[in-house]
Amino acid sequence: MRVLVTGASGFIGSRVTRNMLERGHEVVALLAPDDNAPRLADIRDRMTFVNGDLEQEGAAERLVVDAKPEACVHLAWYAEPGKYLTSERNLPALQAGIALLQALASSGCSRIVMAGTCAEYDAHCGYLQEDSPTRPETLYAATKLAMCQIGQQLAAANGVKFAWGRIFYLYGPTEDPRRMIPALVRALVSGNEFPATEGEQVRDYLHVDDVASAFGSMLEEGATGVFNVSSGRPITIRDLMLIAGRLAGRAHLIRFGEVPYRAWEPPVICGSNARLRELGWRPRFELEAGLSDVLDYWRSQRS
């Protein structure tokens, strides 16, 4: 298939792009203006690049006319660490997603997969299923949920197969160093102390390559509806950090209890991936192997 990938140079997008190529698909990668896509530097000659800003009026229609996609994975969204949860920049991202879906549906694109978030759910429900209640508590989660619901309605009205992947917590090489796991690993590799919360919160972490393969499975199988993109294996942040610390040989550098919890910090977020597994998807990375992969990456950046 000819697959349009938006946000193709991002942490997730670059891995989804590679996954699409590995599956034998033709990829049209949408990049922001002036983005030189360093995460895709070694495979630039294997795909078509298009630069554009979906938030500009008419951009989605022009993109779809030029790219002529048979399928699309839409990942482009505002996601600056420390700001994205409450930023009003989520609003134009929602509008851009709606415009893209409308343009794709009217062009005859038959399969669309978009990225959501576990934060759409009521985080007090414990182990989350796709039919668990939703209750977004941030603007980011609210706009994602709105995109999911609008997308399902538009897709159904136009005969398009539409899947919504609710991504839980993820990690992997090339992640923004401001996020928790790379910040921790970089400190450990450098021999620096790392201030942390008490780490009692329970989370569900999945390697970015397994996230990418999940989106590939949803696309290829023509899946419809909501899918948890999760490991299904709860772990406390403390235990996760201690695994990374042990692998680095420097667990003593982690200073638990020196940082307060964030304003939005539910005690437990973990989700069943049974519906995704029904598509034949299986994760490749166990957590320890995945954290070793991250350690190797950041060690290589120091050499």
Work out the angle at residue 97's Cα, subtended by the Cα atoms of residues 92 and 99, and round it to the nearest 5 degrees. 95
Q: CATH topology of 2-169+205-229 equal to that of 172-204+233-302?
A: no
Helix 208-220 × helix 11-22 angle, to 10°: 50
pLDDT confidence band for 263 (50 / 70 / 90): confident
Q: What is the DSSP track for 136-191?
A: --SHHHHHHHHHHHHHHHHHHHHT-EEEEEEE-EEE-TT--TTSHHHHHHHHHHHT
At 97 the three-state DSSP class reads helix
Contact in structure between 191 and 250 (CB atoms under 8 Å) = yes
| pTM for this predicted structure | 0.96
Q: Which amino acid is at 189?
A: V
pLDDT at 111: 98
pLDDT at 4: 98
Q: Where are the domains of the chain?
A: 2-169+205-229, 172-204+233-302
pLDDT tens digits along 109-159: 999 999 999 999 999 988 999 999 999 999 999 999 999 999 999 999 999
CATH number of 2-169+205-229: 3.40.50.720
pLDDT at 9: 96
For the cut 90, the answer to whether the pLDDT of residue 231 exceeds it is yes
Helices (H), the chain: 11-22, 59-67, 90-107, 139-158, 180-190, 208-220, 237-248, 274-277, 287-302
pLDDT at 140: 98
CATH number of 172-204+233-302: 3.90.25.10
pLDDT confidence band for 230 (50 / 70 / 90): very high
pLDDT at 303: 66
